[in-house]
Each structure stands twice: as structure tokens, then as C-alpha cells.
Amino acid sequence: MNDRQVRNNKLVFRSKCIKIFIASAGLLLFSCNKKEVFSPDKYIITESIQSGSSNFEINKKYVYSEKNQLASVWLKDGNTSLTLEYNKDKTIKKITENNATNYAVLSYENKLLTQIQYYENNQLARECLFFRKEKKNTINKIEYYVYDGFSAGKKNVLADMLFPEVKSVHKSHKSGEKSLYSVQNITYEEDNIFRVSLSYVIDNQVSLYSITTYKYDDKKNPYYGLSYFFTDLTGYSKNNVKSTITSLENDPFKTLITVENSYSYEKKYPVYNSVVESRTYIVGYETVIEDGKTITKPIWNTTLQYWSYKYAYK
């Protein structure tokens, strides 16, 4: 695998998150009084995906309790079931994957998420901490940690959702300790994410990896209020992402990833989304003569992918 493939593969899961949940990358931001409680006007029950010439196929199912709390989510990926437990204030307390040995515990302060700890085979393996902007209580930084003994090679759907960058991390810390491996810095406009910068910790130095910017529609995001556990930051934006642009920083191939979402709506909620993703990057260089001068110019290549989503509600 060459350097470009390695760099691009780091964003594969994050890109999928963006595609699947009406947006790009994932990731925020409630208004001052918004608490992290999922209570939409319409409750999503299925998400279906179509790629190429294939038919639509359900890839997610949502089950609710009699109180309309999200009780469980079925994912086609690995035939995985996620079961949710709640605190008395209706915030999500725990998420369990298929069995009782792999799970995440969520902690809050005044109904605002402060920490997620992920347990693998009942052992604390990963953690993320949330930092907030004063007064507005909006998240402006997330730090991701791994504990000694984690296995980045194992397939754990919940862990991949909560820690999409962990596969690129190598264990380099002492037994019983935790190591910071990545940081997200977030800026926003009103109730929507505007920019997310992702950095990795390499040799104890924080190195900027990518910057993603977002544009939104003015309709209702069906996941708004669903606290951070499902496909990155989707539940933290009030509206649906129309497009994202991600630039890989310090990348010799100058990779640029653009995702465009085209929605159809019913009662201000999306029911259909057509997605186009383009990746542009340098594949080589050529020497040309311009105005009598010999110069070296990059040779660019662009790849395109297309797919669609359908959403059903109750």
C-alpha cells in the first residue's frame, strides 16, 4: 500500500459516516439551552441504501419504547444490534453491542455529554473527552484516547462509530496508562457545524491531518438531539448537510474530498438523498514549457462515487 492509499484510507470510515447520515463528517452544536435528548417531531424507523444499479436495501432499523425513546438500532454492518439504556433525565447512559462485554458508558454534566468510555471484553479500552465553549455550552474540542491492551485490528462496530480513527493508531504506552491519539477542534455557525479540524498525535506532537467545512439546508435533521455515539457528530447539527469539503493537510498528493447531498423532503424532513463524492489528488508531474520557461506541473486525477439513501418515519 502506497502513502496515498494509507492517507486516504484513514478517512474511509469518516467519509462513510458523512454519507450515511445526511452529511459529511463523523462529529455539533446545540443552542444555548439545547440538551442532548433525542425528541424529534418525526421518528426515523429505517434507512435504506442503494449503490450503483442495485436495489434499495435496509441497512439500519430503529426500535422505540412506548415512551418513544430509541431502544435499539439494528445495523446491517456485521448484523449488529446496539441496545440503549437511559438515565432518569432521558440522556443515554449505556450502549451495548450484541453482547454484554463490548459497550460504551456515557457521562454528562447538566445533561451535556462530557465523556464516553468504551469497554472491550469488559476492559476499558478507549475514551473520548468533550470540551465546551463557555456560555454557549457548545462543544469545541474532542480528545480521543486509547488504553493499554486495545486491539485496533478487531472488528467492533460500536467502537468504529465512536472512534473512527483508532485503526491508524499503534500502541506505544505503558501498561495501565492511556495515550492521546487524535484531537478534533470544532467551530460553528448558529446551530450547525461549520468547520472540523482533525489532528493526530505523532511522537508526542499534534500534527494537523485534515480540515472539513460544511454547508447546510434549512430543513430538519432527523438525528438532531441524538447524543454523540452514532456516526460521529450527526446529532449535533440542527439542519442537514448539503455539502462538505475535506482537504488533507500536509499531504504530498494534495487530496481534496467533496461530498454533495441532494435531498427530497416531506414535512421538512428528508426522505431521499442522492450523494456524489469526488476525490481529487495528484498522481504525478509533467514538465512543460510555458512562455519560454520550463516548469513542472502536477497531473491531477479525480474519482467519483454515487449512491442514494431513503428514510422512513413513524
Per-residue confidence at 176, pLDDT binned at 50, 70, 90?
low
pLDDT band at 147 (very low <50, low <70, confident <90, very high): confident
Q: What is the pLDDT of residue 138?
A: 83
- According to the model, what pLDDT value does residue 161 have? 83
Phi and psi, residue 3, nearest 5°: -60, -40
Between 204 and 175, the higher pLDDT residue:
204
Average pLDDT score over residue span 189-197: 92
Q: Which residues, including other chains, have CB under 8 Å from residue 237's CB and lie 6 or more apart?
A: 23, 28, 29, 191, 192, 193, 214, 216, 221, 224
| 3-state DSSP assignment of residue 160 | helix
Tally of CB atoms within 10 A around 16: 18
pLDDT at 153 over 50: yes
All residues at 6 or more sequence positions from 2 whose CB lies less than 8 Å from its CB, including other chains: none
Quick one: average pLDDT of 211-229? 88
* CATH number among 3.40.50.300, 1.10.3720.10, 2.40.30.10, 2.40.160.150, domain 3-313: 2.40.160.150
Q: Specify the pLDDT at position 175.
A: 52
Q: What is the pLDDT of residues 29-39, one digit of tens each?
A: 233 334 577 87
pTM of the model: 0.82
* Residue boundaries of the structural domains of the chain: 3-313
Q: For residue 139, what pLDDT is reported?
A: 87
Q: Given this model, what pLDDT does residue 300 score?
A: 97
CA dist 23 and 18 (Å) reads: 4
> What is the per-residue pLDDT for 111?
86
Closest CA to 277 of 5, 51, 46, 56: 51
Residue 198: what pLDDT? 94
Average pLDDT over residues 3-17: 44
Select the more confidently predicted residue: 124 or 36.
124
pLDDT of residue 166: 56
Q: Give the model's confidence band at 178: pLDDT under 50 very low, under 70 low, under 90 confident, else very high.
A: confident
Cell 436495501 maps to which residue? 57
Q: Is 198 in contact with 184 (CB distance < 8 Å)?
A: yes
